Amino acid sequence: MSALVPQPIEALLARALAEHEARRSVFDLPRRSFWTTPDGIDLSVDVFARRAGSPLGPAAGPHTQLAQNLVIGWLAGARAFELKTVQVQDRLEIPRPCIDAPDLGYNVEWSQELTLEESATQYATAWLLIHVLAPAGWTGAPARGPEATFEVSVGYDLAGIRSAPVARFLDAMGDAEGLLDALKQRLPATLRARADVAVPARIADTVTLSTFHGCPPEEIEQIVEHLFARHRMNVVIKCNPTLLGHEAVEDLLRGRLGYDDIALDPAAFASDLGWGDALALFGRLEGAAGRAGLGLGVKLTNTLVVQNRRGVLTGERVYLSGPPLHPLAITLAARIAAATGGRLPLSFSGGVDAENFADTVACGFTPVTTCTDLLKPPGYRRLPRYLKALVAAMESVGARSVDEFIRRRAGRADDGGARLANLSAYAARVIEDPRYHAREHRAAPTRTGALSLLDCASCNNCLVVCPNDAFFSLPIAPLTLETVELRGEGAGVVAAPVRFATAQEKQWAVFADLCNECGNCDTFCPESGGPQRVKPRFHATRGGFEAAGTADGILLEDRGRVLSARLSGASYRIAWRDGGVTFSDGILEATLDEDHRVIATRVLQRTKGHQLSLWPYHALRVLREAVLREVGPLSASLSP
């Protein structure tokens, strides 16, 4: 498995600016997908003491782990970010693939893949980049600033959250002045002036507590009180769908929604927080929050633990998300709101998409976050649709702000009553909506053939569905040429003709440092083999290239003058020197002139009948030429 290698701020900022200048995109998000709120419309909402420019954001998960992910989300309209959950165990071995989301979502990726120190640096990098890019006016009037809020997420037990490493992480999020200054100092002089902007040192003042994995109520209470006292942060308790109880979830999921193929895990219900304990806990912690002068909220919901029946992911348990989670989470939210009289601020995440976003916002949730929907094409580019749908819904009732929209939708003047009325009405009708019933859902696409290193269906799905922006496209004109295959015979080498040809206008490659082989690209690829394995995998360092073992990979060194590669079990080396080039697989070597004609051959290791085709040479050299020519993740890492 490839380990994630977060990119440094100097490479990310240089790439963002150069890419926008070269082709009007940033981290492969085209300018047409940048979000600007229409004049006269106020989408901003309060997130405790902070103001977010919209109620929309990505949920804790694959879209909130790396700095560039957060920047892409912000450019596309997200303003309230729930950062990926961290825990003291920061050297996890997560199975691959870890995501299976052709329509419903299943995953086994329950915590961060980076170390706590790397996570803190990535979140600070994203915070700085967003504030540096905001004055460009790409997302609206520069005077409005980034309008972004970050909320950290932690789990899963008191001992881990009290530990020194997690404490340092939370301290850094509460006061990142030193970390932000260090990031600015990394920038070369040409970029440092651009970063001379005011950046709040407090990255986050709110922490979401994930109660996954059977955290008992007394421990949840102790964790919240610890976060209030030690870190002076508002706390949001993220509840699990199991809070509804096994019988209710079974009736909703399998009975009313028709998901007979999904089997619940009874053990998850037995170990999770129960309804009576939850209400008592909320009441006690409301008092604790008041005494601390901080905020307490509840988020609905985590994913649902179910039995693994599809066989795509490994293990006995997987975590369900997507469409069926939406009515479950709404039902639970309505029940909590009714039981608490609407006193507790509620936030929401569960099967959110562009079609239900406005309805969910009307329920008064702040913020509303999404994940599974963004794993589908066209990925982050789906986010503006959410906000367009909300604006249209607001305009349909003559509302100019989110609060006014909630009141007008309910036909009530009081904010609290309007929220409860909208939530109650939505909960009643969402169960009957066929969008969330089993018969409405799709399977993965049928494969049409085998994926190859070059040329494919050119659907672009791998690029847009990758949560990490690991894939990139390379404009390479179609090419046909006659070349040769070399074969060792005795002490010499003979040549036989071979044709090299490409047919597509673009080729797709993957920056291995940003690819964690989650498998989401394979889900939406119309050809078999897996883009994360078959398409050209470029590494930025020798260490990363060697750590990948025998897996296919490509490494450019010496400013691109030396290329090492592993393709289909063979190893190659190409070196460009003084107008010529040598190509070798360690057994045979060919020297070529500037027109790629073989002018000399050499036997490096005698192996009878060994063949060296120049097809890989031409494939690798056209890829190299495009990588060095185009602005992208790899060229940024190669820059001096």
Torsion of the alpha carbons at 411, 412, 413 and 416, rounded to the nearest 10: -130
Domain spans in the chain, listed from the N-terminal domain onward: 9-437, 461-638
pLDDT band at 212 (very low <50, low <70, confident <90, very high): confident
Average predicted confidence (pLDDT) for the chain: 94
Pairing of strands 492-502, 479-489: antiparallel
List, for residues 521-548, the tens digit of each pLDDT value: 999 999 999 999 999 999 999 999 999 9
pTM summary value: 0.95
Per residue in 96-126, pLDDT (tens digit) is: 999 999 999 999 987 889 999 999 999 999 9
| pLDDT one-digit tens code per residue, 115-165 | 999 999 999 999 999 999 999 999 887 777 899 999 999 999 999 999 999
Q: What is the pLDDT of residue 3?
A: 79
SS3 124: helix
Torsion of CA 7, 12, 18, 22, to 10 degrees: 70
pLDDT tens string 621-630: 999 999 999 9
Arithmetic mean of pLDDT, 284-300? 97
Q: What is the pLDDT of residue 448?
A: 87
The pLDDT, as a whole number, for residue 443 is: 60
> What CA–CA distances, in Å, run from 418 to 46, 215, 367, 402, 404?
17, 34, 17, 12, 10
Helix, strand and coil percent figures for the chain, each rounded to 5: 40, 20, 40
Q: Which residue is listed with tokens 């979401």? A: 208
* CB burial of residue 178 (10 Å; 0-12, 13-18, 19+): exposed
Closest CA to 459 of 511, 385, 527: 527
pLDDT at 405: 98
**8 Å CB contact between 139 and 75:** yes
What span, in angstroms and rounded, lies between the C-alpha atoms of 421 and 357?
17
Q: For residues 84 and 6, what is the distance between their CA atoms, to the nearest angstrom?
A: 14
Question: What does the pLDDT read at residue 25?
Answer: 97
* 345-to-224, 319, 326, 420, 467 alpha-carbon distances in Å: 16, 26, 19, 12, 29
pLDDT in the model for residue 87: 93
Distance in Å from the first CA to the final CA of the chain: 29
pLDDT interval class at 430 (50, 70, 90): very high
- CA–CA dist 213, 630 (Å, integer): 45
Digit-coded pLDDT (tens) for 572-602: 999 998 878 999 999 999 999 989 999 999 9
Question: Do 370 and 80 form a contact (C-beta atoms < 8 A)?
Answer: no
The three-class DSSP label of residue 234 is strand
Per residue in 43-59, pLDDT (tens digit) is 999 999 999 999 999 99
Q: Which two tokens stand for residue 345?
A: 């601020």
Over range 68-76, report the average pLDDT: 97
Average pLDDT for 476-480: 95
Which pLDDT score is estimated for 446? 78
Handedness of CA 14, 15, 17, 22 (dihedral sign): positive
- pLDDT of 222 reads 97
Report residue 289's pLDDT band, with 50, 70 and 90 as the boundaries: very high
**Are 85 and 236 within 8 A, CB to CB?**
no
DSSP conformational letter for 85: P
Count of other CB atoms within 10 angstroms of residue 196: 10
For residue 1, pLDDT over 60 is answered with no
**Which residues partner with 300 through β-bridges?**
239, 348
Per-residue model confidence as pLDDT tens digits over 184-204 = 999 999 899 999 999 999 999
Q: In what order do the strands lie in the sheet with 611-613?
A: 492-502, 479-489, 611-613
* 213 pLDDT higher than 90: no
Question: Quick check: 209 and 282 in contact, CB under 8 A?
Answer: no
Over residues 66-81, mean pLDDT: 97
Relative to beta strand 296-300, strand 562-567 is: unpaired
CATH number of 9-437: 3.20.20.70
In eight-state DSSP terms, residue 31 is G
Q: How far apart are CA 209 and CA 299, in angstroms?
A: 9
DSSP-assigned beta bridge partners for residue 581: 576, 592
Question: pLDDT-based confidence at 369, cuts 50/70/90?
Answer: very high
pLDDT category of residue 488 using cuts at 50, 70 and 90:
confident
In tens, the pLDDT along 602-612 reads 999 887 789 99
DSSP type of residue 605 = S
The per-residue pLDDT for 440 is 65
pLDDT of residue 417: 95
* More reliable by pLDDT, 278 or 94: 278
Given this model, what pLDDT does residue 441 score? 62
For the chain, give the number of residues.
640
Q: How far is Cα 212 from Cα 85, in angstroms, rounded to an integer?
A: 11
